[in-house]
Every structure is written in C-alpha cells, then in structure tokens.
Amino acid sequence: MTTFTGFIPVWLNGRLTRNGPGLYTYGDTTYNHLFDGFAVLHQFRIKNGHVTYHSRFLQSDDHKKNRLNNRIVVTQLGTVGHPDPCKTLLQRFMSIFEVEATDNCSVNVVHMGDEVYAMTESPVIRRIDPSTLECIGEKTKVDSIVAVNTLTAHPHVEHDGTVYNMGSSFASSSGPAYNIIKFPPPRVEGGRRKSSVDQAEIVATIPCQWRLHPSYYHSFGMTEKYFIFVEMPLVISLGKLIYNHITKEAFIGAFQWYPEEKTHFRVVDRRTGRQIPTRYSTEAFVTFHQTNAYEKDGQLVVDLTATSDGGIITEAMSERDPSKVNLVLPTHRRFVLPLDVQNAPQDINLVTLPGTKCKATKRANDVIEIEGCEISAHPFELQRINYQYNGREYRYSYGVGISRVNNTHDKLVKMDVVTGQVQIWTETNKFVSEPIFVKPPGSTKEEDKGVVLSSLIDQTDPKLASLLVLDAKTWKELGRVDFRANGTVTPTFHGQFAADADEVHMY
Ligand SMILES: [Fe+2]
C-alpha cells in the first residue's frame, strides 16, 4: 500500500539509498552495541513524481555465518561471537590469532566511480548493485591494497569523481599512523580496466600523538588546499585491543577517554602530503561528523558537531533504549585556525574574522591554543550540507535535532551557521533520519535552492516507511510517500542520493 500527499518535484529523479544497523538478534542471541547491528539497506527510487521503496539485508559473509549457525558467531565492536561449532578445537585455538575485519558494512553507502559500496569503519567494503541492493562479487579488502586497519564511512568526493578517505594503520614500523587514501576515477590501462579501489594509494600520513593509543575518528575535513583531521583523546588502546582479542572480550573495552588531554587539529597540505608545522590544540571533545571547512582571510574555519561527553561510544551507544541514556548532547561548533602564525605575537587572539567569538592564541611553546564557539545550543547531529559548498564558505547545515527529553531523533533542523538560527520540522510520533540536500539540475547560485530528503519511522506503526521531501529554503513539507513494509522498518545512519542525470555522484 502506498499513500501520496503533496507532490514530488518533477526534476527529482534518482535513488536515495540508505544504510543502517537493523538486525541485532540471531536465534536467541542478541548484539549489545548500537554499532553491532547487521546492515539493512533501504532505497527510495524516485522517477517522474513517483516513488517506490524496497529494503534488503546486506548479504555479508558475517551475516551469512550468523544465519547459518542461527546465533551470534561473529564478533562485533561491543559483542563477542561464540565459537563456530563447525570449527575443530585446533581451528578454534588458532582463531585467537586471527583478526579478520568485518564485512558487516552498516554505516553508509558510497559511490566510487561507477561502483557503489556499503561501508562501515572496517577496511572491508561490500560492492552492491544499486538497483537490487544485492552484493556483487566477494568482499573488497581495501587493506590488501593500502596499509590500513580502519577506514571511515565518510569519504570526500571531488567533481571529477576522485574519492579521498582516511584510515589508521596500527602496525607500521614507525608506529601507529593516520593515512589519507586517494581513490582515482576508474580508467583503462593496457586494455585492463582499473576501478577506483584498484588504484588506491596513500597520499598523506599523519603520525599518532599517543604511540600506543591512536585516536578514534569517524570523519575528516577537506578543502581545496587542506585535509583537516581532528585527533581527539577518545583513543583505542592497542594493548587492550590485543588483550581483549586473546581473552575474548568485546573490542569496545579498548576505547579509552582522557578528558584531561587536549584535542589536536592536524592540517595537511594537499600539494605536499605533509602536515603543516603549526600545532593547534583545544579542550577535549568527541566529534563524529565534521560539517565543513573553508579558508577565509588566512584562517581555516572548521565546523563540526561535538560533545564533551567521552562516554558516547562506550556507554551511551551500548544502551539500546535512548530514553535511558544520560549524555551531554552534541551541538554544532566552530573553530578558527590562523594559518600564517610564524611571526605572530604571543598571548593575543589571532582570529580576525568578524562576527565570531572563536579565539586562537599563540603560546610560548608555539602551540596555537584554540577556543571554539557554539554555533547554536540546539542538540544537533548527522548533519549534511549542499556538498557543492564543501571546502567553501557556506551558510546552511541540515541535521537531526535530538530531544532533550528522551534523546530521540525527532526533528529535522536547518541551521544558519552564521546566525545560529534554526528552522525545525517535527511531527508527533515520527523519528527522522539524516536529511540529504539535493539541488535541482544546473542550479548553483542559491545555496539552499533545492529539496531535503529524509526517511521517517513511525513510533506507533513499525511497518510504516515514509519518504519526506522538504523545501530546503522554506523548510516546509512539499510531499510525502508512505509505504507499508512487510516487516519492521529499521533506522539508518547515512545514505546518498544519486541523481539519474549525474555521472559523478558527489557526497
Ligand atoms: Fe557518521
């Protein structure tokens, strides 16, 4: 059953594909942590004002193993899998020394050249058929091409289709490091086609501040000249990681939060692949999503959502009922990093951008102490922008508002990052998803000319899946399509809209 209200703009033609953890229980065993759930892909296909919807479990190897055994045999971040009964005793003993990255790619959907991949934070990604959502081929091991043990699910894409992503290497000879990886567009060489993944290469390496405790990170920033990496004191203890692997304890126990330490901003010059010599530090915070970054008047503006609460991964996300979570909710913050500071005076504020309360002060040790400011006090996460403005001065961010009463994602928020003013869309009993901005074909002059897409889940009707279309300028509903699914509709983290008319699908 499908119900239409309002209208869908005729220029909006393409696929909105979303991804998220939707399956936590196999037999009578259940995964513990929010990140542990097995991936369910959801897709709204929009064509000439009509919309269809389908969803599918990602047919990962790890999902199949659990299904085959009808219980959890695959370890995820917060849950240890029970030994596979098909293994011999010797195989079980040897498995202590295996660290096999998961292919439960449950966080995002990313276009790389003409291929589409489901991704999580593992270096193993799954190519999917964008029409059927079925897996294509075997799992793709990025770690067999470049030396990384992790990979974010939030790459950046350039207009020519070049993709950049970031991953940590825990075991390099010079110690743990953070690598930036380039995935060029597909090409044919010597009669052989090379995909973006085939051509992966590391273009920059950032050494780790804490040698045995590399920082956790979930995204990074990119401008025309710079990569921006935030090294925060929410770290992964490599010693604890190995210990937990041997003793069969959950990997989540290796996450450690050091609120007395600083958060560092690392800026990499894209031309040289080297970190610029200036060191920037600020108070400890935890961020998942960088919103945007751009240069202005010799200063680098970096916007992100952050919380001062280091328990967000280890405690808050281990609780499946959000109303029981006691968490300092994330807000949208700005930091300003002056770039040319070699001859700058000490102990005065070096930020000269008008209208900001952000500060940056050079100290005697040449470290630039930066002090961010809150763009808005409104709890805000899963933010997106008009990606045409990535790396450029911009005005609007579109995100999810979080209820202060029960921590649910119950609002869609358009935030003016200059004034901090917000426009809010909300409806009783509806959970919203990350809003994705889509611009009309050819329009580039008005940043908020276009629509925003969000999928809705109904608290009282678990089989109802809805696609909501908002006018990005007025923040008013243009149209909605409700679908009656066969089973419970599960939430999603992230997704992408691929317009039929586009050859390169930007982020
Ligand atoms: Fe994310």
Residue 40: name the closest of 463, 436, 490 by CA. 490
Distance 277 CA to ligand 1 centre (A): 29
Rounded-to-integer distance, Cα 453 and Cα 491, Å: 15
| 501 vs 109, residue with greater confidence | 109
Amino acid 318: pLDDT: 65
Please report where in the chains the tokens 């808005």 appear, as a residue.
376
Helices (H), 205-310: 238-246
Domain boundaries, the chain: 2-499
Buried b (16+ CB within 10 A) or exposed e, 418-457: eeeebbebebeebbbbbbbbbbeeeeeeebbebbbbbbbb
Distance 493 CA to ligand 1 centre (A): 7
Q: What is the mean pLDDT of residues 252-277?
A: 95
Q: What is the mean pLDDT of residues 308-317?
A: 76
CB within 8 Å of 315: residues ≥ 6 apart: 325, 327
CB within 8 Å of 278: residues ≥ 6 apart: 267, 337, 339, 341, 366, 368
pLDDT one-digit tens code per residue, 162-205: 999 999 999 877 889 999 999 999 999 899 999 999 999 999 99
Q: In this model, does residue 232 exceed pLDDT 80?
A: yes
Residue 16: name the closest of 24, 8, 25 by CA. 8
Q: In this model, does residue 16 exceed pLDDT 80?
A: yes
CB atoms near residue 232 (< 10 Å): 23
Q: In this model, does residue 124 exceed pLDDT 70?
A: yes
Q: In this model, does residue 235 exceed pLDDT 90?
A: yes
Please report where in the chains the tokens 């580039």 appear, as a residue.
444
Is 451 strand, coil or helix? strand
CB atoms near residue 68 (< 10 Å): 12
Asked if 62 and 84 count as a contact pair (C-beta separation under 8 A), the reply is no
CB atoms near residue 1 (< 10 Å): 7
pLDDT one-digit tens code per residue, 436-485: 999 999 867 899 999 999 999 999 999 999 999 999 999 999 999 999 99
Distance 290 CA to ligand 1 centre (A): 9
Rounded-to-integer distance, Cα 468 and Cα 482, Å: 9
Amino acid 33: pLDDT: 83
Q: Where residue 1 falls among pLDDT bands split at 50, 70, 90?
A: confident
Rounded-to-integer distance, Cα 189 and Cα 433, Å: 41
CB atoms near residue 207 (< 10 Å): 14
Distance 287 CA to ligand 1 centre (A): 10
Q: Where residue 293 falls among pLDDT bands split at 50, 70, 90?
A: very high
pLDDT one-digit tens code per residue, 206-230: 999 998 999 999 999 999 999 999 9
Q: Where residue 411 falls among pLDDT bands split at 50, 70, 90?
A: very high
Q: In 358-406, which ranges are E strands?
A: 359-362, 368-371, 373-376, 380-384, 396-402
pLDDT one-digit tens code per residue, 324-371: 767 889 999 999 999 999 999 999 999 999 999 999 999 988 899 999
Amino acid 99: pLDDT: 59
Q: In this model, does residue 90 exceed pLDDT 50?
A: no
Residue 402 has φ and ψ, to the nearest 5°, of -110, 130
Q: In this model, does residue 84 exceed pLDDT 60?
A: no
Asked if 93 and 480 count as a contact pair (C-beta separation under 8 A), the reply is no
Amino acid 495: pLDDT: 97
Amino acid 92: pLDDT: 44
pTM value? Answer: 0.94
Amino acid 89: pLDDT: 44
Q: In this model, does residue 97 exceed pLDDT 70?
A: no
Residue 319: name the closest of 34, 15, 61 by CA. 34
Distance 121 CA to ligand 1 centre (A): 10
Amino acid 316: pLDDT: 61
Asked if 29 and 76 count as a contact pair (C-beta separation under 8 A), the reply is no
Residue 36: name the closest of 124, 151, 122 by CA. 122
Q: In this model, does residue 122 exceed pLDDT 70?
A: yes
Distance 91 CA to ligand 1 centre (A): 36
Distance 428 CA to ligand 1 centre (A): 25
Distance 5 CA to ligand 1 centre (A): 30
Q: In this model, does residue 320 exceed pLDDT 70?
A: no
Residue 258 has φ and ψ, to the nearest 5°, of -120, 85
pLDDT one-digit tens code per residue, 17-39: 999 999 899 999 988 888 889 99
Asked if 75 and 251 count as a contact pair (C-beta separation under 8 A), the reply is yes
Q: In this model, does residue 290 exceed pLDDT 60?
A: yes
Residue 416: name the closest of 399, 435, 440, 391 by CA. 399
Distance 307 CA to ligand 1 centre (A): 15
* Helix H or strand E encompassing 68: helix 61-69
Distance 383 CA to ligand 1 centre (A): 9
CA dihedral over 142, 148, 149, 151, signed as positive or negative: negative
Rounded-to-integer distance, Cα 395 and Cα 356, Å: 14
Q: In this model, does residue 87 exceed pLDDT 70?
A: no
Amino acid 91: pLDDT: 46
- For 29-66, the three-class secondary structure string (H helix, E strand, C coil) is EECCCHHHCEEEEEEEEEECCEEEEEEEECCCHHHHHH
Is 428 strand, coil or helix? coil
Rounded-to-integer distance, Cα 415 and Cα 375, Å: 9
* Helix H or strand E encompassing 91: helix 89-94
Distance 120 CA to ligand 1 centre (A): 9
Distance 107 CA to ligand 1 centre (A): 7
Asked if 506 and 159 count as a contact pair (C-beta separation under 8 A), the reply is yes
Is 119 strand, coil or helix? strand
